[in-house]
Chain A
Amino acid sequence: MAMLQINLRPRALRSACLAGLLALAACLGYGQAVNSCLDCHSAQPGRLEVTPEKFSQDIHAQKGLTCTSCHGGDASSYDPEQAMSRKAGWKGKVDRKQIPQLCGSCHANPAFMRTYNPSLRTDQLDQYHTSVHGKRLATGDTKVAVCTDCHSVHDLRPPSDPRSTVNPVNVAKTCSRCHSDASYMKQYGIPTDQFANYSTSVHHDALAVRGDLSAPTCTTCHGNHGAVPPGVDKVQNVCANCHVFQAQMYQKSTHSKAFQDKGLPGCVVCHTNHGIHLPSDAMLGTGPQGVCMRCHAPGDHCDRARATIQGNLTQLDQSIKDADQALRLAESAGMEVSEARLSQDQARDALTKARVTIHSFQAALVNQDIQAGMKIAAANQKAGKDAMVERNHRRIGLGICLIAIAFMLVGLWLYIKKLES
């Protein structure tokens, strides 16, 4: 499309171009105002390309804003010199250092935003200024993220749209565009394995795989506009928002003060920060997954407490499995044990509760929950065994009945024989 290049000279060709574009605009317009920007830029190569299809996805376009709202210029003229003249207020490609201010010119203006959506927040720009990105941008570092890097531009969708780059399901991928790029992040000296770790985590599994929007992503713990890693002493506050009980118990435990004094990041010490996996009872063990013995000495009373807790958990887990086995046996023998099966859920809940109580780091408290669960599991196992005893009773009853029938058959046979003799 050489005809449409900006350095067009021959007048006649320009007029023909104008006529053609007017026709095109008429077709695409149907009632919309003339937008010469889109009409030319939809045919531009590479990074200059913005098509009407792309722009129509943008929430700003849907609300009635257009190119000139941010870039200035004159959208009614097809003359590039007029359309993109400084006199018409054309800003050109907005300088990265200016982007937050530009977006903020509307989004930080409560009176203005009220006219579109009164419930939208307007403190994003303020928050941004407190973030690592904002602070570094202020010093002149243009490599950090600005609004358009995360929210995309020209096809900006609201966060609630599942296709939006800032929809919870997509946030981690958006952040990883920079934060997983080792060469890009080299000068900052921070790790670039967060996304890789997060992708293996239970949180990622819940959010991106199972679609559970209550699961955390980067911004849940780090904040979005005011993104800063939580301080070492503040980590447990962040985790505590969802993991309430664990946090409460941890707070009251000996570990809370001990970690704080040593400047250790609370929950992260045992559970890591990004690659958080489903905890297992092996974490209480002495094997490679064990976390306690990283600090504690073998044989001291903490080691003994650890062993007790692990032992108790294993005991309850085994007890539940034994009860399941007994019930399975009874069911395959045709006995009905649905009540006990239901009760197994309660035993499993007790085990879950006990695992939460680990965070109090008191073996006695954990044991309380364990014992409650043991009682239930034992009762269910008994139900399974009773069902088998009942089954045996049935077989004995059957045996008696069959003996009576056999008696009768012998009697009939003898009687028939007698009759026919």
Chain B
Amino acid sequence: MCADQLPSSQASRRRAIEIFLGGGILASFASFLYPVLRYFVPPAVVDLGGDEVVASKVAEVKPNTGKIFRFGNRPGLLIMNSDGTYRAMSATCTHLGCTVQYRPDLREVWCACHNGTYDLNGRNVSGPPPRPLDVFDVHQRGDEIVVSRKREA
């Protein structure tokens, strides 16, 4: 490198380096840190829905009514009995997979597709369904109703 290099070109060279290096460091670190910082923020929907899920708030379910909720990748049915207790079971009919519903008039679980009925314990009592519905455990936590898969005995 010649010793009599013009200072101005050297200065502009230094400037260029400063911009690229400084700007590069800042920009690249920002683009790395931004996703990581956003990642730390917990999402709005907190639970996974795999093993246990908040099916409903207490206020949302009235006595002798049923509510469909999402449990994992399938629908579930939450029923509040007239005496204030809760039941929950799978809402996928064991006949051909339609979604069942609670019938307050019959006090039974009913499938609209082919008129299959289950009792409140999930047992198939009439119509085409060949097997009972899977029953879940229900607990109340504060103002939330939590449904979880049955624990192995």
Tell me the A residues contacting B by CB distance below 8 Å: 212, 214, 242, 244-245, 338, 342, 345-346, 349, 352-353, 397, 400-401, 403-405, 407-412, 414-415, 418, 421
Contact = CB atoms under 8 A, between A and B. Distances in A.
Contacts of B112: 245, 353
A409 B128 contact: no
Interface stretch (B19-27, B57-65, B77-85, B137-145): B19-27
Nearest to B115: A244
Contact of B128 (A212, A403, A404, A412): A212
A345 B17 CA distance: 59
B30 A421 contact: no
21 contacts: A242-B114, A244-B115, A349-B98, A349-B99, A353-B112, A397-B31, A400-B31, A401-B31, A401-B32, A404-B31, A407-B20, A408-B24, A408-B27, A411-B17, A411-B24, A414-B13, A414-B21, A418-B13, A418-B14, A418-B17, A421-B1
A346 B20 CA distance: 55
A285 to B, nearest CB: 25
A412 B73 contact: no
Interface of B: 1, 13-14, 16-17, 19-25, 27-28, 30-32, 70, 73, 95, 98-99, 112-115, 127-128, 130
A408 B73 contact: no
The 8 closest A-B pairs by CB, nearest first: A408-B24, A411-B20, A411-B21, A404-B27, A214-B128, A407-B24, A401-B31, A411-B24
A414 B128 contact: no
A110 B130 CA distance: 31
B132 to A, nearest CB: 15
Contacts of B27: 403-404, 407-408
A414 B17 contact: yes
The residue in B24, B73, B112 that gathers the most chain A C-beta atoms within 10 A of its C-beta is B24
A415 B28 contact: no
Contact of B28 (A353, A407, A421): A407
Nearest to A215: B128
A405 B24 CA distance: 7
Given A244-B115, A404-B31, A342 B70 contact: yes
A414 B12 CA distance: 12
A49 to B, nearest CB: 40
B99 to A, nearest CB: 7
B28 A405 contact: yes
A411 B22 CA distance: 8
Nearest to B70: A342
A345 B130 CA distance: 22
B73 A407 contact: no
Contact of A410 (B1, B20, B98): B20
Nearest to A342: B73
B24 A410 contact: yes
Contact of A415 (B17, B23, B31): B17
A331 B20 CA distance: 38
Nearest to A241: B115
B1 A415 contact: no
Nearest to B114: A242
A408 B20 contact: yes
A407 B23 contact: yes
B28 A401 contact: yes
A363 to B, nearest CB: 22
B55 to A, nearest CB: 16
Contacts of B30: 404
A212 B28 CA distance: 63
A421 B1 CA distance: 6
B139 to A, nearest CB: 25
A214 B129 CA distance: 8
Contacts of B32: 401
Contact of B21 (A346, A412, A421): A412
Contacts of A245: 112
Contacts of A405: 24, 28, 31
B24 A414 contact: no
Contacts of B31: 397, 400-401, 404-405
A155 to B, nearest CB: 29
Contacts of A418: 13-14, 17
A414 B28 contact: no
The residue in B25, B31, B95, B98 that gathers the most chain A C-beta atoms within 10 A of its C-beta is B31
Contacts of B25: 408, 411
Contacts of A408: 20-21, 24-25, 27-28
